[in-house]
Structure 1
Amino acid sequence: MSPSVRYTATSHPGAVRNDNQDAMLCRPELGLYVIADGAGGHQGGREAAARVVAGIASISLDLKPAERLANLRRQLEAVHESLVQDGKARQQSRELAQGMASTVVVLLLDAEFFACLWTGDSRIYLLRDGELIQLTHDHSVVQELVDAGMIEAWQAEGHRQANVITHAIGAGDGSLRLDKRVGQVMPYDRFLLCSDGLTKTLDDASIRAVLEQGGDAAASLVDAALRLKARDNVTAIVVSTD
């Protein structure tokens, strides 16, 4: 028997900022969940995130699950190329000081398997049997430093380059880098998609504790981040299989 799926989703500008540059999409009929985070400090970040989500939203319900993943890649590559060109044009006309870029995390579920696509430092986690597993790997300067053994993981949060990402949709002149991870869906899995405003405010233990409580976990996570005065936009989608 295929597990049933339910989700909750919440987004907030945070405790400091007035503008919310995060965007999200939930299409349970497709098993599709997305968060895009307009690149910090970029004028046009909000528009970039909105265009990423709009591009993905056009995916057809008629596609088979295997075809959806390929279609998602094509849609994201098309948005990337469009943002790169529009960003260059606006910089030349001085409408923008910097380019238009956004992170993205995508979760695609079917009856038996899940697939994650991502670029940037928004994340997807899986809570399974009490263990919180980070399914994505940040595309960021500090993550590269951690991977190279130059700093410890605990030093990354307060690092002066903590907000610098190395890959994003709309950034750079080259092709889009999208990483992928796939796995089997199990009953009672709980997936969390979130922007970095959440993970830079709550540690893994706090995230796990909220996810284990159930209920409207997305709202509870955002509320917890706001209580700690989250300095960035905070967005969370929690998808549960029962």
Structure 2
Amino acid sequence: MNDVALPYESFGVSHKGCIRELNEDSYLVEPQTGLWVVADGMGGHDAGEVASASIVDHLSTIGIASSAPDLRARFEDRLSRANAEIRSISESRGTTIGSTVAALLAMDGRFACLWAGDSRVYLIRNASISQISKDHTEVQELLDRGMISAAEALAWPRRNVITHAVGVSDEIVIDFQQGEIMPGDIFVLSTDGLTAHVTDAEIEAAAVSATPQAACENLLEMVLARGGTDNVTIVLVKIGDGRNGQSFRPDLPGTESLG
């Protein structure tokens, strides 16, 4: 990364929530390869879990990339393999299953966020939170077309209808944003089980005031206290100031724990 590798710390948690019997979310924390992922499966009892697990299982084989473009290429290759596997499972079961995905790739001082569906990636920079990803949902499309207002979107009856996901078609529709990593940046990846109960401002407050582990645990407790109507998964990556800690260089080991 640049001339000095910036230190980082990351953590992830996942919970089935207060109502669901099964956790169909999956997540991946792979600092050695510069990859963090959340996935929210769909398709009925246990099928969603299979889809999200397929994504994580394939992405966990990326290994150490030689460059940022190589990392991106490896990501897309593994996601394509997961898509094919999920499609095959869907065919054998006679039903459509799939999963959202939201990923952070980091290498050589740069980041890329890639997503399909309504799982999100946030960036907190200079005491301000912004949503990097843009939901692939029916309600977001209506907003973009100016057919409904922001206020109407909040009460829209089909807010959870997603328009893109991995495993639902032969072609994967993935959006991405990229940029430079800055000291003090905080990335938050989450499934919609978090954002259904917690505001962006609350996510920011939790992330900036605690370690990644404590922030993830605090946000999870907040969701559960408010009813936890869905599975919830949170991954948080906090960038330091370059003075100590582990870096994003792929040849250095990571130090975070998994929740």
What TM-score, normalized to structure 1?
A: 0.92
- Higher mean alpha-carbon deviation, 193-202 vs 213-222, is at 213-222
Partners of 2:12 and 2:236 within 8 A in 1: yes
CA distance in 2, matches of 1:31, 1:79: 19
SS of corresponding position for 1:180: strand
- Higher mean alpha-carbon deviation, 146-155 vs 18-27, is at 146-155
Aligned twin of 1:177: 173
Partners of 1:13 and 1:233 within 8 A in 2: yes
Partners of 2:65 and 2:71 within 8 A in 1: no
CA distance in 2, matches of 1:82, 1:189: 35
CA distance in 2, matches of 1:90, 1:109: 37
Between the aligned residues of both structures, percent identity stands at 36
User: 1:150 Cα deviation (Å)?
Assistant: 1.5
2:225 paired with 1:227: yes
Supply the RMSD in Å over aligned alpha carbons. 1.5
CA distance in 2, matches of 1:158, 1:11: 27
Listed as ranges, the gaps of 5+ residues in structure 2 are: 241-259
User: 1:85 Cα deviation (Å)?
Assistant: 2.7
Aligned twin of 1:95: none
Alignment of 1:157-168 (within 5 A): 157-168=154-165
CA distance in 2, matches of 1:99, 1:37: 15
Partners of 1:127 and 1:189 within 8 A in 2: yes
Partners of 1:42 and 1:99 within 8 A in 2: no
User: 1:70 Cα deviation (Å)?
Assistant: 0.7
Residue identity in the other structure for 1:217: A
User: 1:11 Cα deviation (Å)?
Assistant: 0.7
Aligned twin of 2:50: 47
User: 1:6 Cα deviation (Å)?
Assistant: 0.4
Please give the per-residue CA displacement for 1:165-217, whole angstroms capped at 9, x wherever unaligned.
01100113x41101111000000000000000001111112111111212221
Residue identity in the other structure for 2:50: E
- Corresponding residue pairs, total: 235
1:217 to 208, 215, 218: 215
CA distance in 2, matches of 1:103, 1:25: 14
Aligned twin of 1:35: 38
Listed as ranges, the gaps of 5+ residues in structure 1 are: 92-97
1:241 to 239, 249, 253: 239
2:5 to 2, 14, 19: 2
Aligned twin of 1:23: 26
2:118 paired with 1:121: yes
- Higher mean alpha-carbon deviation, 35-44 vs 80-89, is at 35-44
Partners of 1:40 and 1:163 within 8 A in 2: no
Aligned twin of 2:77: 74
2:95 paired with 1:136: no
CA distance in 1, matches of 2:152, 2:236: 28
2:142 to 141, 145, 165: 145
CA distance in 1, matches of 2:44, 2:157: 15
What TM-score, normalized to structure 2?
A: 0.87
CA distance in 1, matches of 2:143, 2:42: 21
2:183 to 176, 180, 187: 187
Aligned twin of 1:203: 199
SS of corresponding position for 1:127: strand
